[in-house]
Amino acid sequence: MIFPLAPYHFFALGALQFSLLLLFIAPWMALIPLALFPVMSFLAALAPGLSYYLPIISRGRKGESGVALTFDDGPDPVVTPLVLELLDRHAAKATFFVTGINAARHPVLIRSILAKGHTIGNHSYHHSPALMLKGKRTIQREVESAQTLLKTFGILPLAFRPPVGVTNAHLWRVLLQAGMFCVNFSCRAGDMGNRRIRTLAARILGKVRPRDIVLLHDVMPPKGDVKHLLSEFEAILTGLAQRGLVVKPLAQLIGKEIMQAASAGEANAAELFYDGLAATYDQEQFCSNVSISRRTELGLFTARIPEIFQGAGRVLEIGAGTGIFTTTIARHCREVEALDISSKMLALLETKCQSEGITNVRPRVGNVETMELEGPYDVVCAFSALEYLTDLPALLVRLAPHVPAGGKIYFITARRSLFRLFTQIGNAMRQGMWLKARSRRQFKAMLLDAGFEPISITPHLLKCVISGGMLLEVVARKRSNP
């Protein structure tokens, strides 16, 4: 469920609570936090790298040593072709955040950008500097209109850069619904859309650092001094090379694809999030604060192998991801059908299978709630994946005809608890989605309604007086007479 939660919401709540507290102390002072909050929010909107309203990517990943070049507001019939020639000479790849209206006017330039191996991001349709002062519908129309236009070139941008880098409280929900994310910048020269191009290179080179996303513009200077503009761009590229700063594709610097083929269809929030995490997913799962949950799952899973998977025929794994559990399952059964919404995750799973000589895993990309199921399955399993589903009871009913009598389902999923609430809030801030946690009673009722007999529904992880655990381990079998 899309549920964008940002620091903005907590500051709003804090301002309200502080105001109510002051109301009992000195009523006139209650207006102070209510007045400071909109001022702070206005200033935060102007900070291109501040994730106040939504997560903003403004720098490369930790460990990266290069920089990325981005060009805004084009394409321009005079400047853009010259920029493309310059980038070719320096063997550099850039990202062009184009406006829909200019892309419609100059379709040949869009094709040329793509043909030369550069990427394209969405910069709204009309590029109104006041866009973020408008309501959600206007912002959505600007984003979607540009997307629709760019689809005609066979691409679907995933990265959005707001005009002037300004954000607001509506933008994240709009981007989540469109399967997009926000990319701003960390190094700019204040060129005001090429109105101030004198010493442009000196200003960029004086502040650029590793991991920077550099903002430039491929539009005509108001005074028409194209020759000087190109000399400044040339000086930037030369200066970066002299400093040992390699110009890298933006996708490589941030670890997220900037666009995809339009034929791939619309991305959704969960797919976008996990595609972006794919390359570092395994490391995050075992070397971060979520590792305690993942290691607990692995321990529970390992103990259940003889009972659930040993000698099984076909196994369906929902949310297989990079194969943390899949390869082990495959060694104990005849075949694993590994489903996941992220093609990038499954590509890594296939690589693991090849390196380990595993040939009985069949990856499938798609949403298990809507795609065609290809049972029968002797076992259906999922590990921290059911939380993302919109209608789990309906899925269990869909699964029932594909599981023969005596077949088993085995899930480890989020349990509703106090500690889980904090992780749900954290996930909503990081991912923009509210992960559903359920109680033992809810799971028992869902299983029975779908024709499954619960064998055990056991809570695990951080069980204490105030919390009954954060994970539920669910084992059930298909009844003969549902």
Q: How far is CA 445 from CA 236, 398, 451, in A?
A: 64, 16, 10
d(CA 228, CA 231): 5
Of 399, 406, 358, 405, residue with least CA distance to 382: 399
> How open is the CA angle 420-425-426, to the nearest 5 degrees?
95
Q: How far is CA 113 from CA 117, 149, 151, 337, in A?
A: 7, 15, 15, 39
Active site residue 170: no
**Out of 217, 275, 340, 378, which one is annotated catalytic?**
217
**Out of 72, 191, 212, 378, which one is annotated catalytic?**
72
> How open is the CA angle 293-299-303, to the nearest 5 degrees?
145
Active site residue 449: no
Distance, first Cα to last Cα, the chain: 30
Judge whether 123 and 98 are in contact, CB under 8 Å.
Answer: yes
d(CA 387, CA 383): 10
**Residues designated catalytic:** 72, 217
